[in-house]
A and B are shown apart, each in its own frame.
Chain A
Amino acid sequence: MTLKTISIRNLLRRKGKAGFVLAGLVVGVSTVVGIFSFVEAMTSDINHKLEQYGANILIVPKTENLALSYGGLTLGGVSFEMQEIQEQELTRVRTIKNSRNIAALGPLVLGVVNVGTHKVLMAGVDFKAAQILKPWWHLKGTVPQENGVILGSESARILNLGIGDRIGIRNKKLVVSGVLQSTGSQDDQLIFTRLVTAQSIFNKNGRISMAEVAALCKDCPIGAMVKQISDVLPGAKVMAIQQVVKSRMETLAQFKKFSFGISGVILLIGSLVVLVTMMGSVRERTDEIGIFRAIGFRKRHIMGIVFMEASIISGLAGIIGYFTGFGVAKAALKVFSENHSGNVPFSFELAVGAIVTALIVGLISSAYPAFMASRLDPNEALRSL
């Protein structure tokens, strides 16, 4: 016989009340766990999508010209003091503090070529990096060799070229090794070849027009990375393409804040349920507490019984709440996530956090009832004496 025996026996006797406290805490904990798991899974889902989004940092030469294009209509532009980036300089990008966040770095050389009667924009790219930088590319055919090209869907249509056709560009005979499926982007209008081939055609050996960086990964400090790249490439202009990313992440952050606010309110309601129920329980047990005090229980023993009961219920609520919240998050994710995977990874930290939170809420809410119980005057509690 210990204080724990008394607590357990009392909980078993007052199953309804214990169940009510348990339910209150389970609702609170499961809501918090559900929201945490859901937000975490959504963030992971969005991050995964963002990783597939391609390049999000552009490195272009510093220029003094203004773009003369609007709504897809280009009227030409005048460049002053145009500088090109030396390909070798790009190696410095790999030395920045957040270099491990760089998923791909793709140099690009651009130039206009004549194919038949048409002027076409030709891009020399690193096809290995392009796999990461342009995940939306679906190539029909094969990646070109040194004397090969691939065509954007529109350029293939307008130039009336297909796989295996040969085209002459500035005294070079190039073979069409593939055609890109329509992407809905500017890529549809271009001809792509290997970087060295394009550099050779445009007589720009060792120089590039621009570079794309894919740094879309979880917790990537895009702003900081732009600054770091700018520092190592002072002659280049570094820009972040993060409007879409930013707005999605901001929406998620707002949702997170809102969810955490709701969780806090629900936890508060849960703690009030515990407080009110425990107070009621203490009042009901006046006689019993009077007996305990009469036979020599100290105040701390009485508080110990109340806290023990609160701990048992809270601990149980933490465990049940975690799994309930986990299930709810899984179900919610199936509804809200675009890929309907419902994949919520088990989080040991969140499980421990749920139990600890439940214990803290349970114990704090029981502090006042426990204090009131310990203050009961045994003589008044036992009116027979």
Chain B
Amino acid sequence: MSYIVADNLVKKYGEGETVVSAVDGISFKIKEGEFVGIMGESGAGKSTILGMLGAMNAPTSGSLRVADIDIYSLGQEQRADFRREFLGFVFQSFHLVSYLTVIENIMLPLAIIKAGKRKKREMAEEAMNQVGLSGKAHRLPSQISGGEKERVAIARSIVNEPPVLLADEPTGNLDTKTSHDIMELLHRLNDEGMTIVMVTHSPDCAGYAQRIIKVSDGKLVGYYSKKYANA
């Protein structure tokens, strides 16, 4: 059964003659536990699709269901709750909070949940261990490398164990070796049952996805099912 169902998604910006279609009638389905890559040239609409999947960018028309929830029928605050419970985000430029330590950044999604101090710390430490960041808990983002920042971003996105991880160019700012490590990490998380949707330019990264959705000029131009590159 499909976990994510996008039906004829349209996103237009502007009005009248200046209207621009960023996404123009895209439909797709993603199964639970699937690792899907979204590829396309710059301006193709990949990030707009990811924004819509992230319950942060309402489509002009069409519908999007995640876990059978029509997310754009929810109010703004309910969508915030949805993001907290269902989604983890990994951003291209990490978007770590500069004045919080590594462990505090990881614990950010836990700041608003009802759980004891110890429980929150245990969850954060577990996420840190999963991404291989042990021993760096009390460093600030400025004191760690790009690859480590990406790991912190991933740990933050998985700390509250959401079923879906959305990643926007997760290796965009990393060298080849670090990119490979990060993709291995995402692959492992997918193996553990997490549904991952990743926007990428990189064919190497796309190689880790089980399926590629290719978009161009806001339209879906093809599906490519690929086996995991290193399998």
List residues of A whose CB falls within 8 A of some B CB.
1-3, 5-6, 9-10, 12-13, 287-288, 290-299, 301, 377-379, 382, 384-385
Contacts and interface: CB of A to CB of B under 8 A. Distances in A.
Given A1-B104, A384-B47, A384-B168, A6 B111 contact: yes
16 contacts: A1-B110, A2-B111, A6-B97, A6-B111, A9-B99, A9-B104, A294-B56, A294-B89, A296-B80, A296-B82, A297-B84, A379-B51, A379-B57, A382-B91, A382-B95, A385-B57
B42 interface: no
Contacts of A378: 56
A-side binding surface: helix, strand, loop or mixed?
helix
Interface centre among A288, A292, A295 (most CB of B within 10 A): A295
Interface string B85-115: 1010101110101111000100111111000
A298 B77 contact: yes
Given A296-B84, A298-B80, A385 B51 contact: yes
A384 B93 contact: yes
Contacts of B97: 6, 288, 291
Q: Lowest 5 A-B CB distances belong to which pairs?
A: A296-B84, A13-B99, A1-B107, A379-B56, A296-B83
B99 A12 contact: yes
A10 B97 CA distance: 10
B50 interface: yes
Contact of A1 (B82, B93, B99, B111): B111
Interface residues of B, number: 37
Contact of A295 (B76, B77, B93, B156): B156
Nearest to B106: A1
Interface in B28-58: 47, 50-51, 54, 56-57
Contacts of B51: 379, 385
Interface of B: 47, 50-51, 54, 56-57, 76-77, 80-85, 87, 89, 91-93, 95, 97-100, 104, 107-112, 120, 124, 156-157, 168-169
A298 B95 contact: no
A6 B98 CA distance: 11
A296 B81 contact: yes
A298 B81 contact: yes
B56 A295 contact: no
B78 to A, nearest CB: 9
Contacts of A301: 111-112
A384 B109 contact: no
A295 B89 contact: yes
Nearest to B172: A384
A295 B84 contact: yes
Contacts of B87: 296
Nearest to A1: B107
Nearest to B86: A296
A186 B35 CA distance: 108
